[in-house]
């Protein structure tokens, strides 16, 4: 459409005409379109990737606007899922990129379908459960992926090329337990650390997509934008953990195959629980509207339905998706959330 859209990028040594052609022919799967994910999507779509698949389970809320750069106030008032709001902006930014928007909770049952045709997988998530699942599928399929995390004023990135670098489990064998690491909700997060972290991830992505994997950062890179410190941890010696890494050495994909992961998840610090129910068909919002007669603030669009009920003296806001998944606010208790789900939605 615009002849010189990529002219500045092409002049970068290491990219050039052939690098640009490779970027434009590439397919990328981005897991999570929140803080890191919106910056990643924005940067890669402007850089001209061929196909970007974005997957996220959430909808846009007012507390996202401080750092999630693709969203605005109208996305909050329209109750849009994050991927739908992001896709609209991304298509307006660069109509040459094919954007595939999927509202779903990424887990071991669906991740292979999301990643099988990708040249690169990007981590824009906020939890270790999904990251270990990404690590398993990336190693299993032999695809590069880029880990990123940002909380408070600190960020961390790591680039994983299976067979070349250590995998996530070589470096972090177990996921941190609940409460061991802060989350955006408990520790807060400063906007710039999100941009810094995801921009490092995006730079690594462009090296790989341009066919220059030799240029990647092979260290675990950590930085603090308030204390003005940064640290590189040499992780290369950990590769395969002397043949004992369950994932990349023993090829036991415990997060893909095992019982890790739950169907009901507390959304840490948000006083909310996600209940996943796999339905055979799509949930009928008009039938559900009749079913929850008496509920307050009932709204629905084609992507999600919201309503609030008062149960045992507490207000619970339900956000329900067509696949039967629900995010229930007003509790951190999994059993209580399952009970509320059964009571108001059924199944």
Binding site for Zn ion (CB under 5 A): 167, 169-170, 245, 247-248
First-to-final CA distance of the chain? 50
Are residues 331 and 273 in contact, defined by beta-carbon separation less than 8 angstroms? yes
Least distance CB 170 / Zn ion (angstroms): 3
Task: Report the residue number, 20 or 146, with the smaller CB distance to Zn ion.
Answer: 146
Give dist(CA 206, CA 199) in Å, integer: 10
E strand or H helix that includes residue 9: helix 7-10
Task: Report the residue number, 75 or 136, with the smaller CB distance to Zn ion.
Answer: 136
E strand or H helix that includes residue 202: helix 191-209
Task: Report the residue number, 86 or 139, with the smaller CB distance to Zn ion.
Answer: 139
Give dist(CA 79, CA 304) in Å, integer: 8
E strand or H helix that includes residue 342: helix 334-344
Cα 245–249–253 angle (5° rounding)? 75
Task: Report the residue number, 50 or 246, with the smaller CB distance to Zn ion.
Answer: 246
Give dist(CA 29, CA 161) in Å, integer: 15
Give dist(CA 101, CA 95) in Å, integer: 14
Task: Report the residue number, 193 or 245, with the smaller CB distance to Zn ion.
Answer: 245
Cα 342–344–347 angle (5° rounding)? 40
Residue 276: CB atoms within 10 A of its CB come to: 19
Task: Report the residue number, 108 or 241, with the smaller CB distance to Zn ion.
Answer: 241
Give dist(CA 346, CA 166) in Å, integer: 45
Task: Report the residue number, 22 or 140, with the smaller CB distance to Zn ion.
Answer: 140
Beta bridge partners of 315: 310
């Amino acid at each position: 459409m615009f002849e010189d859209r990529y002219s500045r990028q092409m002049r970068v040594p290491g990219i050039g005409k052939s690098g640009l052609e490779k970027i434009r022919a590439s397919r990328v799967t981005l897991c999570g379109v929140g803080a890191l994910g919106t910056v990643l999507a924005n940067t890669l779509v402007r850089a001209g990737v061929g196909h970007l698949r974005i997957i996220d389970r959430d909808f846009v809320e007012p507390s996202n606007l401080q750092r999630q750069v693709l969203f605005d106030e109208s996305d909050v008032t329209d109750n849009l899922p994050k991927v739908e709001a992001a896709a609209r902006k991304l298509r307006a930014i660069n109509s040459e990129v094919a954007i595939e928007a999927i509202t779903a909770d990424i887990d071991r049952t669906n991740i292979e379908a999301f990643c099988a045709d990708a040249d690169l997988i990007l981590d824009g998530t906020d939890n270790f459960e999904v990251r270990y699942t990404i690590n398993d599928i990336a190693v299993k399929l032999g695809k590069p992926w880029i880990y990123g995390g940002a909380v408070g004023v600190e960020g961390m990135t790591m680039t994983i090329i299976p067979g070349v670098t250590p995998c996530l489990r070589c470096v972090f064998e177990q996921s941190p337990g609940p409460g061991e690491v802060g989350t955006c909700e408990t520790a807060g997060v400063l906007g710039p650390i999100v941009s810094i972290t995801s921009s490092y991830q995006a730079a690594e992505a462009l090296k790989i997509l341009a066919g220059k994997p030799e240029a990647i950062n092979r260290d675990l890179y950590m930085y603090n934008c308030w204390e003005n410190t940064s640290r590189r941890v040499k992780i290369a010696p950990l590769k395969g953990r002397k043949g004992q890494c369950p994932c990349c050495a023993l090829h036991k994909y415990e997060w893909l195959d095992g019982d890790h992961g739950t169907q009901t998840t507390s959304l840490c610090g948000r006083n909310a629980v996600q209940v996943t129910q796999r339905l055979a068909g799509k949930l009928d919002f008009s039938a559900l509207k009749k079913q929850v007669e008496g509920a307050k603030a009932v709204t629905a669009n084609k992507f999600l339905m919201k309503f609030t009920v008062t149960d045992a003296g507490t207000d619970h806001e339900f956000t329900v998706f067509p696949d039967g998944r629900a995010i229930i606010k007003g509790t951190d208790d999994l059993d209580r959330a399952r009970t509320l789900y059964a009571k108001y939605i059924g199944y």
